[in-house]
Every structure is written in C-alpha cells, then in structure tokens.
Chain A
Amino acid sequence: MILTKEEVIKIAQLCKIELTEAEIEKFQKELSVVLEYASELQQVNTDGVQEISQVTGLENVLRDDHARQSEYRDAIIANFPDHKDSFLKIKNIL
C-alpha cells in the first residue's frame, strides 16, 4: 500500500477529521487505491511543461473595495450552531 497507517493519521490530523481505528484501516486501503490509480500519471512525459490551474485566460481579476451594509445579519446569526444575543458562541479556547 502506498500509505502507511501513520500517514493516514497524519493526514486526518491535517484536515481535522477524527477517525476511529477501523476507519484508519479502511481509508489506508481506499486512499492507497486512489493514489495508485493516479500514479500512472508518472508515465506522461511533462519535461518543460508549465502547469495550468485554470483555463479562462483571465488574469488578476480585481474589483473596487467598497464597504457596504450586509443585508444578511439576522439570517447569518440564525445559522450559528450556538449564539448568545447576536454573538457566535464557541468553546473556551484558552
């Protein structure tokens, strides 16, 4: 398998997903299958090829930075999992 168990644990920590012991083993297998599948890309000769990340041909699309009143305040607060008055409430962080 391409990935070790320790690597899966490390990845899960990086992307902040708590995994059970059984899930670690399951994902070790499944992620390895995907990476193995993609590893055939190494067969393609890409010497001197510049990578591409988008195809629009647009560059540096900017807009003026205008302050405006949000119309959504109450609806945003209504989506908070927990709140006190109009403040977002979370666990102690210190």
Chain B
Amino acid sequence: MLANLELSELQDKLRKKEISSVELTKYFLERIKKHNESLNAFLTVTEDLALAQAVEADKILANEPNPGPLTGIPFAAKDLFSTKGVRTTASSKILDQFIPVYDATTIKKMYAEKTVMLGKTNLDEFAHGSSTETSAYGPSKNPWDLSRIPGGSSGGSAAAVAAGLAPFALATETGGSIRQPASLTGISGWKPTYGRVSRYGVIAMTSSNDSPGTMARSVKDLALTAEFMSGYDPSDGTTANKPVPNYADNLKSDLTGMRIGIPKEYFVEGMEPDVQARVMEAIEQLKKLGAEIIDVSLPLTRYGSLVYAIVTPSEISSNLAKFDGIRFGHQSKEAKTLNEIYTQSREQGFGDEAKRRIMTGTYALSAGYKDAYYLKAQKVRRLLVNEFDQVFQRVDALVCASVPNVATKIGFAKDNPLHGYIADQLNIPASMAGLPALSVPAGFGAAPDGPAGSQLPVGLQIIGPQWGEQTIFNIGHAFQQVTEWHKKFPEEFAD
C-alpha cells in the first residue's frame, strides 16, 4: 500500500525509480474514484492537470541529479485556494462556476516544486464552520466513522489525507480549521505563525487571522511542506521578510532542556475523559523525552472564542461584500434593478452560516455598536496577546488537547449558530495571537454517543511563540519517534 506512506518514503521510491510520478498519480486518482463517493472529500478532481504535471515531474526525476524533495508527489488543495483555470468554489453556490484567473502564491510555490495537484477539497462555506456541514455541496465524512464529521473547515483536506486519497493537503486556518479536523481524523496539521505564509489568492475570511498551512501523515512531512509554503510575498503585505529555516533538516528528537507549559484552562469543563487521558499520557511521553513540564495559567483563554465571535464576523462582513453578483459569481436571474442584483444574488448565493456571519459583523461594526462589540473585542484580543507573551517568557511551548472531544455525529453542528465558536475553543486563542500550532495524533477515545468500544482519533495540540515553528515541529517530531499513533490507518480504506 502506498496510501499510508510519508512524503520521505514516496520521495525515496520516486528517486529509486521504483515508481514513476505518473504511476503514483494514477494510484491516488484511482483511490479518489473509489472512495470519494462515501467521503465527499473532493469537490473537483483535476485528472488531466495532474497527469500532465506528473509527466513533467517524471522528466525532471529522470534527468536531474538532485530533484526537489516534493518533485512528483501528489497533493490536494482546499477549495479556498485560487487555482488558475480550475473551478474554485469556496464551497459556496455564489462561486459555483467561478474560474480564478491566477494561482494563489502557495499554489504557485507548490507547482514550482513540481508537485501534482489531484483536485480541490470540500470545506465549510467560505471556511465558516467546524464540520464541513455548512458546505453548499454537503458534508465530508470522517474516514474513521462515516456517520461523523471530519471537523472543519478544512474537513475535505483532512478526510482526503486520513483516508489516503492524497499524501498531503493544503488547508487554511482562521480559528482551528486545520488543527480541529486534523485532530478528529487522526492526522498531523500545521497552523503557521500569521505572516509566515502568503494569503495571496486564498479567498479571504478573516484577514487578520487567515493562515494557510498543511495537513499530512507526520510532523516531518509538515516540516518539509512548511519550507516551501513559507516566505515573504510582495503580493501580501502582512508576510514577514524573514528567512525560512530548513525545518525538516533541523528536526530534533531529544527534548532535553525544552520547557513545556501545560495551561490548566485548556482542561475545560465537558472535556471527554478519554481525551484528557490521552493528553496526560502524551505529556508523560514528552517528559520521558527530556522536556521539563511546567504548569501554567492563561486565565483569559475562555474569552478567546468570544473575541473571535465578534472579530471574525466583522472582517467577514467586509471581505464578503465583494460578492455582489456583478463581475463574477452567481447573479440572480429575477433581478429587475441594480439593487436587486445585489440583494437577490447574495440571498440566493450565500448559505445560512455565511449570512449569519455577514449580518453579525455588519451589526458589530455599525454606528452605535462598534465600541461595545468590535473595539471591545479588539481590546480583549490585546490582553490575550499579552498573556501569551508573558507565558512564553517562562516556557518554550504549550501542550494541551486540540479538541476537548472526539468527532461528533453529522447533524450536530447544523443550525447551531455557536458550533463554529465552541468547537474551536482550544484553538482560537492562539489564532487571535497569530501563534504557530500543531495538532498531532495522540491515540484514540470512545465516543460518548457511539457503540461500546468505538475508537476515534484524539489530537494533541502544541502551541509555540510567534515564529516558533521549529520548536513545535521538534516537539511533534520527537513525540512521533516514540509513538505510533500517526501511523494508524482506517481499515475501511486499506484497499
């Protein structure tokens, strides 16, 4: 089976000519054909493009003595990344037929490495949600239990990687959209420091938080992809002009001297006992690897989701104003006036969650309410940032659960206007402070509403200080050197 191999293993097979990129690409395209119906992970499969890219990659693999490490390796991209000439929907009816005219910077970077794009993956509409249930194209399914959510918003990318339909995937985070689905599907996910990775060409949600990252089968794979995703981009004024380290080459598996903080507020009320047990076991492992474990307190943690519930819709109401039915996207057929083009196209094109967020934001920013909502939230956000700054004086990283529970049943999130905020409560504070973080598989737990003995993935979250990618990669990698959780694969998708 090739579906469960890490990138370095695939790279090895390609370099040794045990397999060609075209063969590898066909292998994953076949798996997508076989399994996508049950998973709904891909919205668009780019078979012709993928095979053409694989042919190109094979030429390089045949002729160049030192091809790049990702040459010829297939990947999937969340359908929020603009792909030139390839339909990009953001899982919204308003962009159902939208064909971007340029590639996102990160897509360009992946193509420059001669990777192979398999297709575009499902997400919550415009990334608004934590379950993929707000997608206009139906929810994706969790490969460990098809009656459950894969998490979201990057749920299609998560399901694709977890079920071995793609070796890695591009995804995006605003407040948990990589870590939460990675946790629920038992894979590794990287949310970068804000400004580490270009947002150019990624359809905007919350511009002050949006962080494109990756999902893969190991932390080593994440570190490798991070080298190619990161860097200054003149087209994104918020990217930092800082050198990008060789994250993968620099990985360490000894944590001696590492100070790891355990924030007590992250053990929230309602956390499932199995999740708590897996986190405590993981902390023991980190101790054995040489880390010094320090109890810390971040009292403002619980306000993170509340800040997010105001700041996010506010930025969304502004970012989604451009979808007006005039220059691109859905236009109402019944509209008789210019104003009706706007109001009807937006009514018909947006789903309920997008509408809720646009309206919440419009209200929070409107005259008379801005001080009480938007500015208040931005003040509390400042305090959250300060609180993290202070704790990172004492510790090198924080470790806690990625999500307080295992995957819930499909249907749980729909029509719950708070699901997107509560489901990501342990992820959002780091997002509001622009910090880098990982979710890595830490074992399995029983679902409280599942049959006895049911086992679903549990994720360990590792949060670093700003630009602290190498630190969190080292912790995650060291953990994966002494555990096998990241190698578990859902049996149903073995063939």
Question: Which chain A residues have a beta carbon within 8 Å of chain B's beta carbons?
Answer: 3, 7-8, 11-12, 14-19, 27, 30-31, 33-35, 37-38, 40-42, 44, 46, 49-56, 58, 61, 63, 72, 75-76, 78-82, 88, 90-93
Looking at B355, B356, B366, B372, the one whose CB has the most chain A CB atoms below 10 A away is B355
Q: Which residues of chain A come closer than 8 Å to B317, judged between CB atoms? A: 15
Beta-carbon contact of A53 and B362 below 8 Å: no
Give A26's nearest chain B residue, CB to CB.
Answer: B352
| Contact assessment for B380 and A46 in the assembled complex, using a CB-CB cutoff below 8 Å | yes
B324 interface contact, C-beta 8 A: yes
The residue that A34 contacts in the complex, of B101, B309, B372, with Cβ under 8 A, is B309
Query: Closest residue to A91 on the B side, CB-wise?
Result: B338
B298 interface contact, C-beta 8 A: no
> How many contacting A-B pairs (Cβ < 8 A)?
165
In angstroms, Cα B344 to Cα A19, docked, is 9
- Interface residues of chain B, those whose CB is within 8 Å of chain A, are 85, 98-99, 101-102, 194-195, 208, 234, 237-238, 240, 300, 303, 306-307, 309-310, 313, 317, 321, 324-331, 335-344, 346-347, 350, 355-356, 358-360, 362-363, 366, 372-373, 375-383, 385, 417-418, 421, 433-434, 466
Measured between alpha carbons, how far is A9 from B375 in the docked complex, in Å? Answer: 24
A46 engages B339 (CB within 8 Å): no
Q: Which residue of B lies closest to A2 (CB)?
A: B363
The dominant DSSP class at the A interface is loop
- Asked if B99 and A79 make an inter-chain contact with CB atoms under 8 angstroms apart, the answer reads yes
Q: Which residue of A lies closest to B344 (CB)?
A: A18
| Closest A residue, CB atoms, query B240 | A56
Closest-by-CB residue of B relative to A45 is B383
A52 touches B381 (CB 8 A): yes
B347 A18 Cβ-Cβ under 8 A: yes
In the bound complex, do residue A16 and residue B342 qualify as a contact, i.e. CB atoms below 8 Å apart? yes
6 A-B interface contacts by CB (under 8 A): A19-B347, A30-B417, A41-B380, A75-B99, A79-B329, A90-B338
Residues of B with C-beta under 8 A to A54: 194, 208, 238, 434
Partner of B303, one of A40, A52, A58, A61: A40
Taken together as a complex, chains A and B put the C-alpha atoms of A93 and B341 apart, in Å, by 11
Q: Across the two chains, which residue of chain B brings its CB closest to A50?
A: B382
In the complex, the answer to whether B307 meets A41 with C-beta atoms within 8 Å is: yes
| A37-B309, A91-B338 as given contacts; A51 in contact with B327, CB under 8 Å | no
Q: Across the interface, do A35 and B194 meet the contact criterion of CB distance under 8 Å?
A: no
Contacts of B358 in A (CB 8 A): 15, 17
Smallest CB-CB A-B distances: 10 pairs: A51-B378, A81-B331, A55-B434, A61-B237, A46-B379, A75-B101, A18-B343, A79-B328, A72-B101, A52-B382
Does A17 contact B350, Cβ atoms closer than 8 Å?
Answer: yes
Given A42-B376, A44-B300, A75-B99, the answer on whether A31 and B383 have CB atoms closer than 8 Å is no
Q: A16-B324, A79-B327 are in contact. List 12 more A-B contacts (CB 8 A).
A: A15-B359, A17-B350, A34-B309, A37-B418, A41-B310, A44-B379, A49-B379, A58-B237, A63-B237, A81-B328, A88-B326, A90-B326
Give Cα A78–Cα B100 distance, bound, in whole angstroms: 10
